[in-house]
Chains A and B, each alone.
Chain A
Amino acid sequence: MTRELITGNAAAAWGARLARADYLPAFPITPQTEIIETIARWSGEGVMDCRMVMMESEHSMITAAGAAAATGVRVYTATSSQGLLYGMEMLYTVAGWRAPFVMANVSRGLAAPITLESDHNDILAARDSGFLQIHCATCQEVLDVTLMAYRLAEDRRVRLPVIVNLDGFYLSFTREPVNIPGQDAVDAFLPAFDPGPATFRAGHPVSQAVAVLGGAPYSYFRYETALAAQAALDVYAAIGADFFARFGRRHGALERYRCEDAEIVFFMMGSFSTKAKEAVDRMREDGVPVGLLRLCMLRPFPTELLRSALTGKRAVAVIDQNLSMGKGGILHTEITSALYGYRNAPPIVTSFVGGLGGRDISIEEFFEIAAINRRASETGEIPPPRLLYTDTELREIRKLQAIAHVERQEEIVP
């Protein structure tokens, strides 16, 4: 084991390398490219024994990944944003094949307007595809969870592909100290993929992923997939326990930070949650009882864990780095649906949307979100959803709009 400063992208590549991925169909896209560049370099140097193939698009890349995984080969691939959406048809398809592999998604906001920076609308668009989804908050988690994701995907009770999400820039291009486990330790944790009866070889079975006529067989296969996804919760908990025993780091479907005696809880996903930890620590110093609940696994959704973690809390502040047009924050919808009808649910669940397209969330904003929730829990009135956007930011956009409409002026002022 070594402890090194590496980026989230390098941590993802290390995950694939230590998992001994055999086959890597790839297609570049910012901010993911460093992952495949790193693996390509290792492959060229001969330190990683794998077959890497540059595909002509993400659509083909995901098809190739699913097809190879169906033959019992261990597959890794990675994408981001527009690329993930371009491969969307095949996301649903290969999950339906029950082909297990791991794909990194380096979160980046979606066009239009086009951006390179991070938010979660890309990955959330894949929410219902049948891929399981794990969201990381640190570079260490990216490496660890990639290894755990293989065990999860390949488990016979699950047998589904898994997306490991890391935020663009905030993790992808950020170096942090990461423990890189030794190959032997990883081999003991993650043995070679044994596909069992579900393998596809030339002519065996004769047809893979057949068409069905009629709703009953279709419903059967779809629901089997849903049951497998549900089963992944318990399987992941067991994998997490084994990982902790071997490596001393705990990763589960939910992370609780100073939650036990908290009255107000931030609820969010991804790397911005470490910012929330900083805010929690500062507020605790000032005697404010706040905590953080981080959703690490979005699919399957850990409803029971969430309910028990929030039992008796006075308010939950949901911070969404995404936006469903005409509805609002997606996590807010997810959590309220999980809490509705639960007797001990917190009475106040508020909605905040921030961090779109990499827009930072300041510590003062976390402080204010907590203050709003405190007031709401006293009055019992839930405030309307709030976009985190300051008057300075609005002034800046007004300036840009003035430039964009400059044709009204006679001449461009240099």
Chain B
Amino acid sequence: MYRIRFHGRGGQGMKTASRILGTAFFIEGFEVQDAQRYGAERRGAPIFAYVRADRTAIHERGVIGRPDLVVVADDTLVPVSAAGVMQGIGPDTVLLIDSAESEKTWRERLNLQGPILVLPRLIPLEPSEMAYVGTECAAAAACLTGIISLASVRQAVQQELAYMKAGVVDRNVEIASGAFARMAAHSGIVQEGGTTSHHDRTVPSWVDLPADDIGESSPAIYGAATSVAVRTGLWRSMRPVVDTSRCNRCTWICGSFCPDSAIARGSEGYPQIDLDHCKGCMICVAQCPPHAIVAIPEAEAVAQEKEGAAS
């Protein structure tokens, strides 16, 4: 059975990725199960989706514990432990990361035994095409299995995106074909995983839950402002930047729309964005009446900051 997990951020089309890959397997005659996991259900939040494909009926369910392939659409997720990217990665697991950094860098960083591949982006995506990343990842994954044809991938993209405008579908098919071609050298690198042996089983380490004091055992939070400690800013793939020359200082507008209360009124009345907690949803960008907030890719913003610090 093939067991494949996709990790990305809300808005990057991970559900679509799992469905395109699932449908492509199905077109190839496989039995398929695909599903996505909703958590916070918010743009920018870490989410994942998964696909199982086999030649016989699939009985396994739920989250894939031992993946054959893990596809990461957003490389900033790798170090976020709550995202679970590294969960269950074994020596045979292929890791495919959509990243500007090299395979060598990732190999050194992660110190994994298994193969690590980087999916370079040849067709530069517009910010509005964030959701196309899913298509790209699905097509690359399909190629890595070596048993899904490009024709099946194209058909799967068309089928899964049938509800979209023709131009958008065509663009996705183009992106899928490009990603498939770029992975051609690694076609077949992902191998089907086996089953869990009963003979060599590990015994689960069950515990008897103690009866805790009521102060511990009711679902209550006594600590104030614990959410401050959660840096949702790590979710951001696009960063809002205020152009003060256009800004009217009407911060009750952008400040009210920000779902994370990350916009405060700064000293001169300009909005001050708390980048530790701005999750990059781009709602402020859409709402600002004089279009004074622009969106720039987070990676670019970080690079600029580094340059600024160096010079």
Contacts and interface: CB of A to CB of B under 8 A. Distances in A.
Contacts of B62: 170, 275, 360
A175 B59 contact: no
B60 to A, nearest CB: 5
A22 interface: no
A365 B202 CA distance: 9
A113 B219 contact: yes
A246 B204 CA distance: 44
A403 B223 contact: yes
A391 B203 CA distance: 12
A277 B59 contact: yes
A204 to B, nearest CB: 46
B197 to A, nearest CB: 7
Interface string B218-245: 0111111110110100000000000000
B207 interface: yes
A404 B226 contact: yes
Contacts of B65: 362
Given A401-B216, A414-B231, A169 B37 contact: yes
Interface stretch (A64-72, A185-193, A279-287, A334-342): A279-287
A8 B268 CA distance: 54
A285 B231 CA distance: 48
Interface in A349-388: 360, 362-365, 367-368, 386-388
A277 to B, nearest CB: 4
Contacts of B37: 169
Contacts, number: 124
A412 interface: yes
A132 to B, nearest CB: 26
Interface string A111-140: 011001000000000000000000000000
Contact of B35 (A169, A281, A364): A169
B61 A274 contact: yes
A388 B208 CA distance: 9
Contact of A362 (B58, B204, B220): B204
Interface in B92-150: none
Interface in A391-414: 391-392, 394, 401, 403-409, 412-414
What is the interface residue range for chain A against chain B? 35 or more
Given A403-B223, A403-B226, A404-B226, A177 B204 contact: no
A408 B231 CA distance: 21
A175 B229 contact: no
Contacts of A392: 205
A221 interface: no
B60 A275 contact: yes
B198 A285 contact: yes
Nearest to B217: A401
B219 A112 contact: yes
Interface in A267-305: 271-272, 274-275, 277-279, 281-283, 285-286, 288
B85 interface: no
A390 B206 CA distance: 4
B59 A275 contact: yes
Given A112-B219, A391-B207, A282 B229 contact: no
Interface string B17-33: 00100110010000111
Contacts of B201: 364, 367-368
A195 to B, nearest CB: 39
B86 to A, nearest CB: 15
Contacts of A277: 59
B23 A5 contact: yes
Contacts of A271: 61
B267 interface: no
A271 B34 CA distance: 15
Nearest to A275: B61
A173 interface: yes
Contacts of A255: none
Contacts of B22: 5, 175
B49 to A, nearest CB: 10
A174 interface: yes
30 contacts: A5-B34, A116-B38, A173-B38, A174-B35, A174-B61, A175-B34, A176-B32, A177-B32, A271-B61, A274-B60, A275-B62, A282-B198, A283-B198, A286-B199, A360-B63, A387-B206, A389-B207, A391-B206, A391-B207, A394-B207, A404-B222, A406-B222, A406-B223, A406-B229, A407-B222, A407-B224, A408-B223, A412-B223, A414-B229, A414-B231
Interface of A: 5, 112-113, 116, 169-170, 173-177, 271-272, 274-275, 277-279, 281-283, 285-286, 288, 360, 362-365, 367-368, 386-392, 394, 401, 403-409, 412-414
Interface of B: 19, 22-23, 26, 31-38, 58-63, 65, 195-199, 201-209, 216, 219-226, 228-229, 231, 276
Please name the 5 residue pairs, one residue from A and one from B, whose CB atoms are nearest each other, closest first. Answer: A406-B223, A113-B219, A278-B59, A174-B35, A286-B198
